Amino acid sequence: MVTLMFNRPKFPDIPDQFLENAIKAVVIEETALANILAFEDDIIQKAKKDAVNLDEFVTINESAKDIIRNITKIQIMTKVKLQYVKELIQKLKNPAINEALEE
């Protein structure tokens, strides 16, 4: 009679590459958002000089305000994602969870 033995793999440690990729993604996102904000600043500065009337300047200002509001939402979502990654890492490093996965 042949007995097959299956070894359940241990839950792997968090690879450094995973953490590095998560950090790089946040850096890229933050850099892009900073560039958008700088561009909006340029638009507002140009509008201050070239706006034909107050209504035109207010319209540009409202547009910038909407973009800043959306950037704020993106940063809140990024914070939530990072919190999730942090919790996931803590759970995976917990020996009790690894033992439960091995059973």
Instruction: Decide if 27 is inside a domain.
Output: yes
Q: How many domains does the chain have?
A: 1
Is the per-residue pLDDT at 9 higher than 60? no
Instruction: Decide if 33 is inside a domain.
Output: yes
Instruction: Decide if 51 is inside a domain.
Output: yes
Instruction: Decide if 1 is inside a domain.
Output: no
Is the per-residue pLDDT at 58 higher than 70? yes
Residue 96 is part of which domain span? 16-102
CA proximity to 69, closest of 31, 28, 40: 40
Instruction: Decide if 21 is inside a domain.
Output: yes
- pLDDT tens-digit map of 75-96: 999 899 888 888 877 777 776 6
Q: pLDDT value at position 14?
A: 60
Instruction: Decide if 20 is inside a domain.
Output: yes
CA atoms within 13 A on the CB side of 30: 9
CA 37 to chain centre: 17
Q: pLDDT value at position 15?
A: 64
Instruction: Decide if 22 is inside a domain.
Output: yes
Q: Report residue 68's pLDDT band, with 50, 70 and 90 as the boundaries.
A: very high
Q: pLDDT value at position 42?
A: 92
